[in-house]
Structure 1
Amino acid sequence: MAVLNVHERPLPASPDEVGALLDALGSPGDRLWPPGWPAVRFEGPLAVGVPGGHGPVRYVVSDYVPGRWVRFRFTGPRGFEGFHEFGVEALGDRRTVLRHTLVVSPRGPLWPLWPLFVRPLHDAVFRQCLDRAEHALTGTVTRPARWSLYARVLRVCAARLTPKN
């Protein structure tokens, strides 16, 4: 089973402004990744070949065009084959889309966990990333993401099982 999961948001900002958020991912100045989730960390500055991850999800930067696009190839957990990426797309006249794309083939025991556990949490954190991007660029969020009751319950359970950063 291959999964394609896309979250995107048009933002009233230039591609350079949105790209600056992308370039700071995992750094001390990160304004994209939401607090309260396992932090994104890299073993060096964002660059091709640098390993990193968040929580139990491990990856390596496989492609990087500063300010425009970064792709992370999964290296863990075992059975998570694929990638996720952020891209910045100019729409013109100070309008830009920030897009997160996940392409993964969960294998073995991860296959049933994807729809039951991983996807609801994945959707929640990446919608919150888009809220943070909008807030960082405009000072407000027009339509904040709302989590389902199920996602909120999963988040509480996951927080109790995840070591603090």
Structure 2
Amino acid sequence: MEVGESMIWNIHQRELPVSAQQAGALLDTVAEPGNPLWPADQWPALALDRPLQVGADGGHGTIRYACTAYEPGRTVEFTFAPSMPFAGAHTFEIIDRGEYGCVIRHLVVARAREPRGWLLWTFAIRWLHDAVIEELLDRAATAVGHPPAEPARWSPWVRMLRRSLDRVHAAVPVD
């Protein structure tokens, strides 16, 4: 398999029984410190070098990206930095379903720039990504007054990856 041939498609979404405006206002806070969406108590915080807007650079943990599209209350697109082993973007969007509420969706569309990127995605990043996004969706539902009946739980693989990462981070001195 050629590296350029393998696409990464990953989608998570949650129906919310609230207006798209209410969910969109919540989405607009995703990069603010202490926001109700990002599970910073369990994961590295999503941080940008300026308020959420096109051109803001940042990321979470070692994942680096820039905001390349932003429509307040509707869509936020982050494109992976050239230093990342992936080319592509991840996007949050609010889909208005009228009287039925709305859907908050997160989509990753990327390709591995090198074999290491494909391996990292397949064996580690995908699992960690799925866990953090499901927690984010749980937090979105809770923030609008409709907490999930069964909150997301980490798989044994995610717990093992997190323990490994925590040990690496503890061993690396901070300047």
**Among 99, 110, 126, the residue aligned to 2:133:** 126
Shifted more, 150-159 versus 127-136: the winner is 150-159
Q: How many residues align?
A: 164
Which sections of structure 2, spanning at least 5 residues, go unmatched?
Answer: 1-5
1:97 corresponds to:
103
1:86 corresponds to:
92
1:2 and 1:15 map into 2 onto residues whose CA distance is 30
2:150 and 2:53 map into 1 onto residues whose CA distance is 33
5 Å-filtered alignment, 1:16-165, equals 16-34=21-39, 35-75=41-81, 77-93=83-99, 95-108=101-114, 109-138=116-145, 140-162=147-169
Q: 1:5 and 2:21 equivalent?
A: no
- Residue by residue, what CA displacement relative to the aligned partner does 1:116-146 show, whole Å, maximum 9, x if unpaired? 1111001000010000000111152223112
| Deviation (angstroms), 1:155 | 1.8
1:125 and 1:64 map into 2 onto residues whose CA distance is 21
1:114 and 1:78 map into 2 onto residues whose CA distance is 11
Q: Give the structure with higher Rg (CA).
A: 2
List 4+ stretches of structure 1 deviating above 6 A: none
- Is residue 63–residue 84 contact of structure 2 (8 Å, CA) maintained in 1? no
Partner-residue secondary structure (3-state), 2:99:
coil
